Chains A and B, each alone.
Chain A
């Protein structure tokens, strides 16, 4: 039997051939010391509370996740990744327990009160997220006094 083609191998080959937006300049904002920084998570796993509003495929808005809500559903519409990992341990995508531990031992200043989830299924240029959903989410993060954002792509 020939070796089977692995899903991650196929997906990486596909994605690596896609054009991506090119930016002439890199945004650069010096953060406060990590021990004083407020940290938030932004993920593309389309997480939402069970029974809560789910993101549709290609949605360019986002879901607001209260930090106290830990029973979340993996709303991402793709079958092309390991969906069981989040079921086994949500921290592998949404590491709020780890951030709580880092806040408790003083490594980070605090964990933000709200976190945010986008839909990972997007058009290749992600133009609507760049021009609309992304800046709106950034405004919410700034309103919460967030200094550092941890992006977890799915």
Chain B
């Protein structure tokens, strides 16, 4: 494309400044980008010397014990982490939940996905927001924001919260099961594919 000035950063997708919570590293990226302005002719394309790989190692995140065995596991789980979600939202003053529903509706959405995963006609199930992608983005945001309060150790690595959600939680497994069932029922690709990252 030949843009006039580009600093190519081989960082995890979603982290264009490289490292969240690392002001020094972010300043290094900015310094290298702004240095391109000093060139007398272009186009200029340079590589940042550091490569960061998203290895998708799940975060270590202790979860509350089951409370109500009569509920679907994902619904019980979502209710159990509500306190952590609320603390996360209060600490940051903002939430990414709200595309299709509010946080109170997350358990209801998971119950709807359970019906779909169990074979109900996905078009007939009352899914909050009526948008499979928006619903799953809200569920992911609810869980990942809660996980930032519950996780041990340093800030999660790239795609670590994603790996935790899809590999370690009842809700993540349920989203994948519902997606597979919607696909099996013959829905258009756009309805089910983007309910989760494409590699999952």
Contact = CB atoms under 8 A, between A and B. Distances in A.
Interface of A: 4-8, 10-12, 20-23, 26-29, 31, 34, 37, 50-51, 54, 71-75, 77-89, 91-93, 95, 97-99, 101-102, 107-108, 148, 150, 152-154
A8 B14 CA distance: 10
Contacts of A83: 14, 96, 140-141, 144, 161-162
Interface in B117-172: 133, 136-137, 140-141, 144-145, 147-148, 155-156, 158-162
A150 B161 contact: no
A50 B34 contact: no
B53 A8 contact: yes
B42 interface: yes
Given A7-B56, A23-B2, A34-B37, 15 more contacts: A5-B199, A7-B162, A11-B198, A20-B1, A28-B4, A79-B194, A83-B140, A84-B147, A84-B161, A88-B21, A88-B155, A92-B26, A98-B17, A99-B30, A153-B16
Given A85-B12, A102-B30, A92 B159 contact: no
B3 interface: yes
Summarize A's interface: helix, strand, loop or mixed: loop
Summarize B's interface: helix, strand, loop or mixed: loop
Interface of B: 1-4, 12-21, 23, 26-27, 30, 33-34, 37, 41-43, 53-56, 92-96, 98-99, 133, 136-137, 140-141, 144-145, 147-148, 155-156, 158-162, 194-200
B94 A72 contact: yes
A6 B160 contact: no
B24 to A, nearest CB: 10
Given A28-B42, A50-B98, A84 B16 contact: no
Given A6-B55, A11-B198, A22 B30 contact: no
A152 B155 contact: no
Nearest to A50: B94
